[in-house]
Amino acid sequence: MIAIGCDHGALDLKNQLVEHLKKRGIECKDVGTYTEDSCDYPEYAHKVTDLVLSGECTEGILLCGTGIGMSIAANKVKGIRAALCGDCFSAQMTKEHNNANVLCMGARVIGSELAFRIADTFLDSKFSNEERHIRRINKLED
């Protein structure tokens, strides 16, 4: 199960992405927002990070206008490694090297088709489990 959340700047993309992933057999726990009313992205970032940290969801996806606010909010939470991605190479590398557990994207920055591919790449990639990457990730938590 993937946790997904957005603010008003990314509502359409969030809904499209949930449908896209559903077609691939990937279920999302959609924490909102559910309307175009202006809202505060940290609230949705925290709903998603809570689900990831509890283990209820394996990974999270956070969307806002730029993806920046969501990534800042998520990365302040201990145990969360959120990656703001606008390309597939970064989405693959951040899983393999950083063991990122949250993907952030900017709905006003990239188109929906690219966002689908980035999400697919992120979810299909695996952490390398190499010692040097484990060592570096552990240093993030110090």
State the residues that interact with ligand RB5 by CB under 6 A.
7, 9, 41, 64-66, 68-69
C-beta of residue 133 within 8 angstroms of C-beta of residue 81:
no
**Least distance to ligand RB5, CB of residue 7, Å:** 5
Q: Which is nearer to ligand RB5, 65 or 137 (CB)?
A: 65
**Least distance to ligand RB5, CB of residue 124, Å:** 26
Nearest to 7 by CA among 68, 58, 84, 94: 68
Q: Is 57 a catalytic residue?
A: no
Of the residues 8, 46, 97, 133, only one is catalytic, namely 97
**Least distance to ligand RB5, CB of residue 68, Å:** 4
Q: Which is nearer to ligand RB5, 65 or 96 (CB)?
A: 65
**Least distance to ligand RB5, CB of residue 126, Å:** 29
Q: Is the previous residue joined to 33 through a cis bond, with omega within 30 degrees of 0?
A: yes
Q: Is 64 a catalytic residue?
A: yes
Q: Which is nearer to ligand RB5, 26 or 110 (CB)?
A: 110
Q: Which is nearer to ligand RB5, 5 or 69 (CB)?
A: 69
Annotated catalytic residues are 64, 97
